[in-house]
Chain A
Amino acid sequence: MIAYLLQQAINALQLGSVYALIALGYSMVYGVLRLINFAHGDVFMVGAFLGFFAAAVMRWPFVATLLFSMVGTAALGVTIERVAYRPLRDAPRVSAVITALGVGLFLEHFVLATVGAQPRQIPRMIPVRFYPLPGGIGFSSSQAVIFGVALLLMLVLDLFVNRTMTGMAMRAISWDIRHLPLMGVPVNRIVSLTFAIGSALAAAGGILVGLAYPIIDPYMGILVGWKAFVAAVVGGIGSVRGAMVGGYVLAATEVFVAAFLPSTYRDFVAFSLLLALLVFRPTGMLGRVWAQKV
């Protein structure tokens, strides 16, 4: 029983790493623009397809595939912000949200129309090995890579956001975007950079998903995107560390529900818990509580 639980915990770490990487993009963009970037799940999907292109067509190794996909989606993210969100920065907030939904639909169906509807399989990029641990459990090489790469990326991001001047500018934008240009901060450049980083992390998530579940299709971003969004909210949207915590919490919930109940109950229980959490802690686990000025 204990071994089974531990094994499930390892699986949760694998899934949680992917959720966390995608949730970071939601949270960072929300932090700077107060925009729920609903196209983010589809950016993740594009990242997976770029990975498929690099690995299956160009036959590149894992690291080159990962970098190619991250750079490609970073460019995509910056373009989306420049074309679809920046003209609406002073419009009512929901306009940009609807635009985001539109961009997401566009990406899904553009990939569908150009690549085709049939699911694709990403070839194996790392040798499959199984490392046993004491107690009858163990982890696979892809699980180790997923967790390791995700952890590395999150550490770098955390250092970047909290220890560099650019990271400070990013955090400053989330406090007051209107007056920040007076401090000499190039707001547009920082926003572009935020989109680039968030999208690249989503692409990394897409490639890592490809290691564990190699079947990809144009609609894969919808559900994963919404779940990552939930993870970002559970952690407290706008908070970088919150997004990481939220990703692992959501994954642990899902994995353990599926471990003890029929797996069709997974979404039901996961979202019911979310509902309960929001009723009792409306701003998430690590969310900032904003005082309302009267």
Chain B
Amino acid sequence: MEAPGAGAPPRAAAPGRTLLAWAGAGAGLLFFWAVLPRLPVNPYHVQVLMYVGINAILAASLNLVNGYMGEFSVGHAGFMAVGAYVSAVVTLWLVPRPLWGALFPAALLAGGAAAALVGLVVAVPSFRTRGDYLAIVTLALNMIVKSAIENIEAVGGPRGLPGIGRLTTPAWVFVWVVVTLAVLRHFLHSRFGRGVAAIREDELAAELIGIDTRQVKLQAFLLSAFFAGVAGGLYAHLLQFINPRSFDIVKSTEILVMVYLGGVASLAGSLVGAAVYTVLLEALRFLGLWRWVLAPLLLVVLMIGRPRGLLGYREAALFVPAWERALRRAAARARSEGAGSPEGTGS
């Protein structure tokens, strides 16, 4: 994607803004790594914060498939399970205890890679079928993963896998949230990202204008599964105990709710959705059982009032490249001047 003709002056501002974003990420990392552990904060609040981060990774990665590509995957927890178990097995069996801290990222990457491999099981059927039938494929995959783990005695079967090291720290969660959002942002605004949006709007037309829809779908599903796997790894090393039931269809439903609560096709939406959902459920804890009665009711009311979620199809400026913002501004200017240009209205 090359630069638009009309956007010369705003383009100049681009490097500064990008630099600012990365500086912000660096400052955030410094805060979570060096400052937060020394602050007298309630460990419970830190825990909730880490859940928000992990859920944000899950929601953003699912949003790639469900929001941007317009598929309906309902089995995201399956990939999470693969990542959780593989990374836990790597730290427990392969890495000696003194090296746990140093090799934690490698374990997470292994979990993500394994999840991506399992993602192939969904990606390949998606070449032939979509919509509700693909939803069933993802559902079936979730059930198969859970059932397979229950039958592997080496990792504890249905009893679960205890004794995982508590390696997940706020800093690691922050790093992976930033990595996830940065990778997704770049992917979505690349050539393949255009392909993803084209598949959502009209798959047949996308194929006709020469988009390799198989390649695009393959990449999107693998990327989505990879980050779900990483999130699973973070989750496992935060809880220190995992069992197959934590990754059942109810977990998948929770991720779906975060995505659609925050808004489809919006990375900022996924962040907001994960934060609102996680914090709300914790804040309603005093209601006991009734919070699970109230939370779904709020969701229903919200969907009726705002069917696209809080931020559906809207994006924070941070997640849109400068050249594209310039392009959109130029297009808006052209429209207001009455010279409606067909380009630049995309996504």
| A residues neighboring B (CB under 8 Å) | 30, 36, 84, 87-88, 91-92, 94-99, 101-106, 108-110, 112-113, 222, 226, 229-230, 233, 237, 262, 264-265, 267-268, 271-272, 274-275, 278-279, 282-284, 292, 294
Contact = CB atoms under 8 A, between A and B. Distances in A.
Contact of B260 (A94, A110, A275, A292): A94
B129 A271 contact: no
Given A106-B297, A109-B296, A84 B304 contact: yes
B139 interface: yes
Given A101-B253, A109-B293, A268-B147, A95 B260 contact: yes
A112 B300 contact: no
Nearest to A36: B132
A226 B141 CA distance: 13
Given A87-B304, A88-B307, A98 B260 contact: yes
Report the 8 A-B pairs with minimum CB-CB distance, sorted nearest first. A91-B307, A282-B129, A109-B292, A95-B307, A268-B147, A105-B296, A106-B296, A102-B299
B157 to A, nearest CB: 8
Interface string B113-157: 000000001001100110011011101110110111011000001
Contact of B140 (A104, A230, A264): A230
B256 A278 contact: no
A88 B140 contact: no
Given A98-B260, A222-B250, A275-B125, A103 B300 contact: yes
B140 A275 contact: yes
A274 B136 contact: yes
User: Chain B: interface residue count, which band?
Assistant: 35 or more
Contacts of B293: 106, 109-110, 113
Contacts of B150: 264
A222 B143 contact: no
A278 B137 contact: yes
B72 A275 contact: no
B204 A275 contact: no
B264 interface: yes
Contacts of B260: 94-95, 98
A36 B135 contact: yes
A163 to B, nearest CB: 28
B264 A94 contact: yes
Interface in B253-288: 253, 256-257, 260, 264
Most chain B CB atoms below 10 A, which of A88, A92, A265, A271: A271
B289 interface: yes
A123 B148 CA distance: 36
B64 interface: no
24 contacts: A36-B135, A88-B304, A97-B72, A99-B300, A102-B299, A102-B303, A103-B300, A105-B253, A112-B292, A113-B289, A222-B249, A233-B133, A264-B150, A264-B151, A264-B157, A265-B147, A265-B151, A267-B144, A268-B147, A272-B144, A278-B137, A279-B124, A283-B129, A292-B204
Most chain B CB atoms below 10 A, which of A229, A278, A294: A278
B290 interface: yes
A105 B264 CA distance: 21
B341 to A, nearest CB: 27
A20 B289 CA distance: 33
Interface string B81-106: 00000000000000000000000000
Contacts of B133: 233, 278, 282-284
Nearest to B249: A226
A106 B294 CA distance: 8
Most chain A CB atoms below 10 A, which of B139, B158, B257, B296: B296
Given A102-B257, A112-B292, A271 B140 contact: yes
Given A95-B308, A282-B125, 11 more contacts: A98-B260, A101-B257, A108-B292, A109-B296, A229-B139, A233-B132, A265-B151, A268-B143, A275-B121, A278-B125, A278-B136
B295 interface: yes
B304 A271 contact: no
A275 B296 contact: no
A288 to B, nearest CB: 13
Nearest to A284: B133
B78 to A, nearest CB: 11
B77 to A, nearest CB: 13
A292 B131 CA distance: 14
Nearest to B290: A113
Nearest to B135: A36
Given A92-B308, A94-B72, A233 B136 contact: yes
A101 B308 contact: no
Contact of A275 (B141, B157, B250, B304): B141
B310 to A, nearest CB: 13
B253 A92 contact: no
Contact of A106 (B135, B264, B300): B300
A87 B306 CA distance: 11
Contacts of B139: 226, 229-230
A102 B295 CA distance: 8
A98 B299 contact: yes
Most chain B CB atoms below 10 A, which of A87, A99, A237, A264: A99
Contacts of B147: 264-265, 267-268, 271
A115 to B, nearest CB: 11
Nearest to B304: A87
B143 A267 contact: yes
A294 B307 contact: no
A94 B70 CA distance: 10
A88 B295 CA distance: 19
Contacts of B158: 264
